Structure 1
Amino acid sequence: MFTLQCTKKLESELGMMDFVAVPTAGDRLYGWHAHLFLLNRRKCVLVMNNETRYNFVLNGLKKQDFKRFHELVIESIAENLLADKADKQVIESYMQSTDSLSFTKTSDRSIISQINDMILIIKHMHQYELEEKGEIHAQWFNKLNRRINKVPMLKLPLAYSGETMLAALGNRQF
């Protein structure tokens, strides 16, 4: 089962969803953290894996997106892994080995810290793109999701979250 640990901001945006007070101690590869933030007056959510720090941004979310947030997150995990050239069969095995998504409160301050650092990097990249080109296209967020997993994180064994996620998926027996 996937576990999505949401910050208070995101929890209040999601509204009446059932939140488990304490996350279960399961496989960290199936655990994710999520945080709501604003980028150019649009609601965005950064989702980060607990074990590998693999992350991506869901951009321009509207009220109906938050109503089907669990589906959106699961779809986005698969789409981003595929875009980062993960093996299709490995992705399917990873996605099939879980049957649902549970929501809990956050439990790891180091992940929250890395999420906040990544949001600062994203905002800087966004500002730079606006200054250079004057506008942001929807394709830019796809490129952004590829680039943010190439930012070094010193606590990871392979230094980059994208490489660490692909290696973790490749080493698992599903």
Structure 2
Amino acid sequence: MIFRVTVKLGDKLAVAPTQVLPLAENRFADWSAHLFTAERKQYLIVANTKSLYSVLMPARGITNDQLFVERFLECLQADLENDEVGQIFQRILQPNCGQCHFSKPLNPAVTTSLNDLVLRAKLG
């Protein structure tokens, strides 16, 4: 699984990726993540790099990469089950959870899309 993190999130997680990894072969295993503040609270938005299916979660208590991955997978599974597609997690995502790699963002278009999603999250 690949997590493409912004500099701001990398600082929070003490992760400093030095390269941009190519898009994962399994598109379900490639995620872009950003840290933002709304109403004086920190949140994380993690979006599938290809489809932009997004998970929004509080950043409180997430202080390293391991906690980030654990909390993200919990939230992703809950969101998929809520969307009535929970079988995707067990069948497609769970087998890819063993190895996690951190990368710089793929390209400016994905970063712009994350910023748009953050703006919508703050408004809604």
Q: Confirm or deny a common fold (TM above 0.5).
A: yes
Query: Which structure is richer in relative contact order (CA contacts within 8 A, separation 6 or more)?
Result: 2
**Maintained 8 Å contact 1:20/1:102:** no
Instruction: Look up the SS of the partner of 1:65 in the other structure.
Output: coil
Q: Which is richer in helix?
A: 1
Superposed displacement of residue 20, structure 1: 5.4
Q: Which digits, 9 at most, give the CA deviation of each residue in 1:66-114, with x for residues without a partner?
A: 231111112222111111110x333201233212221111122111111
Using structure 2 for the length normalisation, give the TM-score.
0.86
Question: Which of the numbers 85, 89, 92 marks the counterpart of 1:91?
Answer: 89
Provide TM-score, normalisation by structure 1: 0.63
Sequence identity percentage: 23
Structure 1 residue 18 displacement after superposition: 6.3
Q: Output aligned runs, 1:121-136, within 5 Å.
A: 121-125=120-124
CA–CA separation in structure 1 for the residues paired with 2:23 and 2:54: 21
Kindly report which structure 2 residues correspond to 1:1-174, keeping only aligned pairs within 5 A, or say none: 2-15=1-14, 17=15, 19=17, 21-27=19-25, 28-59=27-58, 61-62=59-60, 64-67=61-64, 68-86=67-85, 88-98=86-96, 99-125=98-124
CA distance in 1, matches of 2:88, 2:71: 20
Alpha-carbon separation, structure 2, partners of 1:48 and 1:36: 12
**Equivalent residue letter for 1:21:** Q
Kindly name which structure, 1 or 2, has the bigger radius of gyration based on alpha carbons. 1
> Counterparts of 1:20 and 1:94 in 2: how far apart (Å)?
28
Find the aligned partners of 2:18 and 2:28 in 1 and give their Cα distance: 19
Q: What are the ranges of 5 or more consecutive residues in structure 1 without an aligned counterpart?
A: 126-174
